Chain A
Amino acid sequence: MKSEMIVLVRINPIRCRGHAICVLLFSEGIELDRWGYGRVTEATAKDRRSIRRAYRAAAACPNGAVEVVQLDSTGAQQPPLKPPLRIVHEQ
């Protein structure tokens, strides 16, 4: 079940103010551009660890610019997003 899920990370460029916290927390998928705004380099979080880090980055952004969505194998979005802390506790 879990393996069929695709977890996508994206940044709302209007909300991004360049706090750069997401780059610290999710460095495998986000880098800073030349002005210091976040840019997604790897949109899919592949393993369990990076999914957890992606959710942390989304929760830590002061402007709510980082969004994480889960898609099932058909590409339909799964509405209930798991809050990051619960994933941490699941382990």
Chain B
Amino acid sequence: MTDSCVLAERGSDWSVDVQIGGVGDNGTWLLAGPPPKGTGETLVEHLKRLGPSDRWLSPSALRAVVRDSGLRGRGGGGFPLARKLETALLAPGEPILIVNASESEPASRKDATLCLHRPHLVLDGAAMAAAIIGSTEVVIYMHQGSTDVYGALQRALAERQAAQLADPVWRMLMGPGRYVAGEASAIANRLEGGEALPSFSPHPMAFRGPSGRPTVVNNCETVAQLALLVRMGTVAWRNGGTPSSPGPQLLTLVGAVADSEIVVEVVGSATVGQVLGHVGVCAPPGAVLVGGYAGTWLKGGLAWCTPLDRAALERVGASPGCGLVGVLPHGACGLSETAHLVSYLAGESAGQCGPCAHGLPALARHMEAIARGSYRQRSQVRLRSLGDAIFGAGACAHPDGVVRLIRSAFEAFDEDVQHHLDHRRCPGSKNPPTFFVPKPRRRS
């Protein structure tokens, strides 16, 4: 990838100039450093570039830094990190810290990119988070199949052990490579020796996890941001984003942008159009999927001028989620694409809660019927009431995400809906799907 482009447009006077770039590009913060190579950045390079991690900061000073930063979780939920850590501190028992590097979102690659190229940033941040909540052990969770991430982290851990850093005890935990296995309570259940399936609890996990101890689960980008934030200082770090989304962001661009996923870092306030412009998309696409496969569809034109900022995205009904930006080209059928994603997500249901186990396959059948063209006005009403019955009825947010995806599809593809109603199906629905989904697994 070429130099990061510096765009002159400014989101507001408050922020720094927008910088967009990949691993090792100028102007990036998290991904700054050596260009991508076979192995990740070594500990020596890491310490030379960023200096020692601020070991002299006491846990209470670190706590204050996290509180002032307004850092939110980057795994999808967007929960403020400070509130999670404070809850764990208030709760009885020694807290457990889990760093989630499993990246269950099939198209997302940002966490893998961080672990492969900047492993010490992730590990530094994990050590800091552990220091704040006073836990002596950090669990790093990943999927069984991600051998590259495992190798990179193992190598980094060996370097840290040889350098005798004052680190917590590291522990690797493997989980099955399925969508819901990356959910926080599923990880905590796996840690307890159970199956990696979500569970239902009236308490927040940070107060009381399945083991009875407070359990803090953080995405690995979140802890990497923490390591960067402590070194840069709160004010400088916040300037890398916007008031409602402080700090730089990692995004995965998928769909009609390139053959494979592109991970970019955005420093400053950039619109979706600016980010897509960086990878060579010069005009608004047909539609943009923001926030993950269970995210929100936006019309291409609307998305193009929407800043990638929590408040601005909320105004159009979306959220930054896990930082996925999916590009659907003109001429593709958004309804077929949604049907494709919904049938994947329905297959990934853990099958524990009735409304999810029965409702999601029904939703997928309805969406397929609509995409195929056997569609009546009445089925839209039925689909809507089915969505209302499912929304909020599960133990985890998986069914809610699917319902939200379908609701946003009906808004973003209102013309396609009309076309399917008039002409049974649109020409684009014969194309192969734009977004990649893993092969359906056999139900055990």
Contact B354 A13 (CB under 8 A): yes
Q: Which of A34-42, A51-59, A83-91 contacts B (4 or more CB under 8 A)?
A: A34-42
Which residues of chain B have C-beta atoms less than 8 A from A10's C-beta? 202
Whether B374 sits at the interface, judged by CB under 8 Å, is: no
* B355 interface neighbour in A12, A13, A15, A17, Cβ under 8 Å: A13
Contact B395 A13 (CB under 8 A): yes
Give chain A nearest CB distance to B194 CB in angstroms: 12
Contact with A along B105-149 (1 / 0, CB 8 A): 000000000000000000000000000000000000000000000
**Which residues of A from 27 to 73 have beta carbons under 8 Å from B?**
33-37, 39, 67, 69
Complex CA–CA separation, A15 to B355 (angstroms):
12
Given the interface pairs A33-B389, A33-B393, A34-B389, the reply to whether A14 lies near B359 with Cβ below 8 Å is no
Complex CA–CA separation, A66 to B299 (angstroms):
43
Which residues of chain B have C-beta atoms less than 8 A from A13's C-beta? 200, 352-356, 393-395
Whether B199 sits at the interface, judged by CB under 8 Å, is: yes
Which residues of chain A have C-beta atoms less than 8 A from B198's C-beta? 14
Contact B354 A35 (CB under 8 A): yes
Contact B358 A35 (CB under 8 A): yes
Binding site secondary structure of chain B: loop
Complex CA–CA separation, A34 to B358 (angstroms):
10
Contact B393 A39 (CB under 8 A): yes
Contact A16 B354 (CB under 8 A): yes
Which residues of chain A have C-beta atoms less than 8 A from B352's C-beta? 13-14
Of all chain A residues, the one with the shortest Cβ separation from B197 is A14
Contact with B along A67-83 (1 / 0, CB 8 A): 10100000000000000
* B200 interface neighbour in A14, A17, A18, A33, Cβ under 8 Å: A14
Given the interface pairs A13-B395, A14-B395, the reply to whether A33 lies near B355 with Cβ below 8 Å is yes
Complex CA–CA separation, A17 to B202 (angstroms):
19
Complex CA–CA separation, A13 to B349 (angstroms):
14
Which residues of chain B have C-beta atoms less than 8 A from A12's C-beta? 200, 395
Which residues of chain A have C-beta atoms less than 8 A from B358's C-beta? 35
Give chain A nearest CB distance to B346 CB in angstroms: 15
Contact B394 A67 (CB under 8 A): no
* B359 interface neighbour in A18, A35, A39, Cβ under 8 Å: A35
Which residues of chain B have C-beta atoms less than 8 A from A35's C-beta? 354-355, 358-359
Given the interface pairs A35-B358, A67-B202, the reply to whether A14 lies near B393 with Cβ below 8 Å is no
Complex CA–CA separation, A26 to B386 (angstroms):
25
Most chain B beta carbons < 10 A, residue from A10, A18, A35, A39: A35
Complex CA–CA separation, A75 to B393 (angstroms):
24
Give chain A nearest CB distance to B131 CB in angstroms: 30
Contact with A along B196-235 (1 / 0, CB 8 A): 0011101000000000000000000000000000000000
Complex CA–CA separation, A16 to B359 (angstroms):
15
Which residues of chain A have C-beta atoms less than 8 A from B354's C-beta? 13, 16-18, 33, 35-37
Give chain B nearest CB distance to A7 CB in angstroms: 14
Complex CA–CA separation, A10 to B198 (angstroms):
17
Contact with A along B375-407 (1 / 0, CB 8 A): 000000000001001000111000000000000
Q: What are the 5 A-B residue pairs with the smallest beta carbon separation, nearest first? A: A13-B353, A37-B354, A14-B352, A12-B200, A35-B358
- Name 18 interchain pairs, CB-CB below 8 A, sorted by A: A12-B200, A12-B395, A13-B200, A13-B353, A13-B354, A13-B395, A14-B199, A14-B200, A15-B200, A16-B354, A33-B354, A33-B393, A34-B386, A35-B354, A35-B358, A35-B359, A36-B354, A37-B353
